[in-house]
């Protein structure tokens, strides 16, 4: 931790504990510099950081003061029961209409599913692409079609090993992004008409996959901090012939919940007892803010029932469309399905990412990315505290780049979406995250872009619209 970051954390703790209350003047730059033995530049950097977090604000010719309405504390979104009945999925038209309307680059991208490309080392990755393409053995184009580049699979296996999970390289299959991996996993273990246990709320792409494959969903509620409700899942498994369970165990989209390790272990054991495969969607795994990475449920899988899907789209290279699956006992079936559909992921893209993982400083990039996302989360939380109604409930995930807001019951988030879009602001309304169009008064906001004056003004405008209902 840099010196200014440590000093900023010390001031933040004084604010959190109430030593520096709302409206209190923060020590002047000169006084703080002399008292704490740091340079004025260090103090300025710390105060700029606290400003971005939304904890203090500068007043011209007066100094810095604690915000009168700081971000904390917030209430968690309420934990809702799900109907626990199977549902035919039909959400694509709603999702497409919303996604089509937010493509304008001038729109503030709070409704986006991706972090800002400005956070990724795309120029450095381009050098890896040029170098790897130039040195690529032409025979790879045929020999490595599926399961994919041995070099990339080896690098992915090494990252699993560093996290304490030893996986044979034969279990790894490279795909066209995580979404293809998830599609292949479902196809490997289901037939049209089968029932799949999913989260409620669930990422809308999950719903679209089920709709395309003509599968039925059984919604399992997600606790805002601890993830899927295992008691509800157990009841569902006892009542319905569930063929697969699709679950995001870390930084769930859209709520941001992460399962504790003991719950991940229980989840794997519960599904093993019923011989139901777990499709673990873990695309945000690298975007954690804690000192240690969270373990996936795959870490507790001893019999190959967990298919662990990952991607570089959220952490390194969205446009390269490189994902993978550690497929357990289903590896051969999924590889054959891959050959029958798209043959292979782009060989140059695979080679580029393999080269970058080996030589490009991926972990250094990830540390910067995590720090930026955490700072942007703090800024958005602070803005919600300033501009949104006091009844607003909001998640505070320990990773990823989404916040889930539960607004007053009078709010219609689909109407809010249209009103915000008219002001050049995109949001993701709650009903697109449920096959039964629930969560009418909820929205998902993306804080994955650098926080700017435009972001602040957009939050102020959005809060004003919410208050107008």
pLDDT digits (tens, 9 = 90+) for 85-124: 666 666 677 787 777 767 788 899 999 999 999 999 999 9
Q: What region does 33 belong to: left with phi over 0, alpha with psi -120 to 50, or beta?
A: alpha
Q: What is the pLDDT of residue 83?
A: 56
Least Cα distance to 353 among 117, 125, 170, 127 occurs for: 125
What is the second-level CATH architecture of the domain 120-362? 3-Layer(aba) Sandwich (3.40)
Task: Going residue by residue through the chain, which has 469 residues, state the pLDDT in tens, using 9 for 90 and above.
Answer: 678 888 888 888 787 677 887 788 898 888 888 888 889 888 888 888 887 667 788 877 778 888 765 444 455 676 666 556 666 666 677 787 777 767 788 899 999 999 999 999 999 999 999 988 887 777 766 666 789 999 999 999 999 999 999 999 999 999 999 999 999 999 999 999 999 999 999 999 999 999 999 999 999 999 988 999 999 999 999 999 999 999 999 999 999 999 999 999 999 999 999 999 999 999 999 999 988 999 999 999 999 999 999 999 999 998 899 999 999 999 999 999 999 999 889 999 999 999 999 998 999 999 999 999 998 998 899 899 889 998 899 998 999 999 999 999 999 999 999 999 999 999 999 999 998 888 999 999 999 999 999 999 999 999 999 999 9
> How far is it between the farthest Cα atoms of the chain?
71
CA–CA separation, 207 vs 202, rounded Å?
7
Q: What is the pLDDT of residue 71?
A: 46
Global confidence as pTM: 0.84
CB distance 324 to 340 below 8 Å: no
Whether CATH 3.10.129.10 fits 86-118+364-467: no
Where exactly are the structural domains of the chain? Answer: 3-66, 86-118+364-467, 120-362
Strand boundaries in 137-202, DSSP class E: 172-176, 195-200
What SS3 class is residue 349? helix
Residue 468, token pair as written in the block? 């107008």
CA–CA separation, 144 vs 140, rounded Å?
5
CA distances from 164 to 161, 289, 295, 326 (A): 5, 19, 8, 15
Residue 426, token pair as written in the block? 């995109």
Topology (CATH level 3) of domain 3-66: Arc Repressor Mutant, subunit A (1.10.10)
Q: What is the pLDDT of residue 305?
A: 98
CA–CA separation, 184 vs 189, rounded Å?
9
CA–CA separation, 120 vs 115, rounded Å?
9
Q: What is the pLDDT of residue 420?
A: 95
Q: What is the pLDDT of residue 47?
A: 87
CB distance 198 to 217 below 8 Å: yes
Q: Which helix (H) or strand (E) holds 123?
A: helix 122-135
Contacts of 384 (CB under 8 A, 6+ apart): 71, 74, 392, 394, 403, 405, 459, 463
What SS3 class is residue 44? helix
């Amino acid at each position: 931790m840099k010196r200014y970051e440590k000093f900023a954390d010390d001031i933040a703790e004084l604010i959190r504990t109430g030593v520096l209350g709302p409206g209190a003047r923060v020590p002047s730059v000169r006084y703080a510099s002399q008292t704490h033995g740091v340079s004025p530049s260090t103090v300025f950097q710390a105060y700029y950081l606290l400003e971005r977090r939304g904890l203090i604000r500068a007043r011209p010719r007066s100094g810095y003061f604690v915000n009168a309405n700081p971000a904390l504390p917030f209430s968690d979104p309420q934990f809702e029961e799900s109907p626990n009945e199977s549902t035919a999925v039909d959400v694509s038209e709603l999702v497409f209409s919303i996604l089509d309307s937010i493509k304008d680059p001038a729109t503030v991208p709070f409704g986006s599913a991706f972090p800002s490309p400005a956070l990724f080392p795309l120029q450095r990755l381009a050098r890896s692409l040029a170098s790897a393409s130039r040195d690529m053995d032409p025979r790879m184009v045929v020999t490595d079609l599926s399961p994919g580049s041995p070099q990339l699979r080896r690098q992915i296996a090494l990252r699993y090993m560093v996290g304490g999970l030893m996986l044979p390289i034969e279990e790894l299959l490279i795909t066209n992004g995580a979404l293809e991996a998830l599609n292949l996993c479902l196809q490997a273990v289901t037939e049209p008409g089968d029932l799949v246990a999913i989260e409620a709320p669930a990422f809308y792409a999950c719903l679209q996959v089920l709709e395309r494959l003509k599968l039925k969903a059984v919604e399992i509620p997600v606790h805002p901090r601890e993830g899927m409700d295992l008691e509800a899942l157990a009841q569902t498994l006892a009542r319905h012939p569930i063929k697969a369970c699709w679950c995001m165990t870390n930084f769930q989209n859209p709520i941001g919940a992460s399962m504790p390790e003991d719950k991940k272990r229980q989840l794997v054991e519960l599904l093993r007892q019923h011989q139901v495969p777990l499709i673990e969607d873990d695309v945000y795994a690298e975007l954690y803010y804690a000192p240690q990475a969270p373990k996936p449920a795959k870490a507790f899988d001893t019999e190959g029932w967990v298919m662990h899907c990952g991607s570089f789209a959220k952490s390194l290279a969205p446009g390269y469309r490189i994902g993978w699956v550690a497929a357990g006992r289903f590896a051969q079936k999924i590889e054959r399905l891959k050959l029958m559909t798209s043959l292979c992921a782009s060989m140059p893209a695979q080679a580029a990412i393999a080269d970058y993982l080996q030589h490009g400083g991926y972990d250094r990039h990830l540390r910067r990315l995590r720090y930026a996302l955490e700072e942007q989360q703090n800024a958005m939380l602070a803005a919600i505290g300033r501009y949104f109604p006091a009844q607003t409930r909001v998640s505070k995930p320990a990773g990823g780049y989404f916040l889930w807001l539960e607004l007053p019951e009078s709010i219609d988030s689909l109407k809010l979406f249209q009103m915000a879009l008219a002001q050049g602001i995109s949001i993701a309304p709650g009903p697109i995250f449920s096959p039964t169009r629930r969560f009418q008064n909820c929205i998902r906001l993306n804080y994955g872009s650098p926080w700017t004056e435009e972001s602040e003004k957009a939050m102020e405008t959005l809060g004003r619209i919410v208050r107008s209902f």
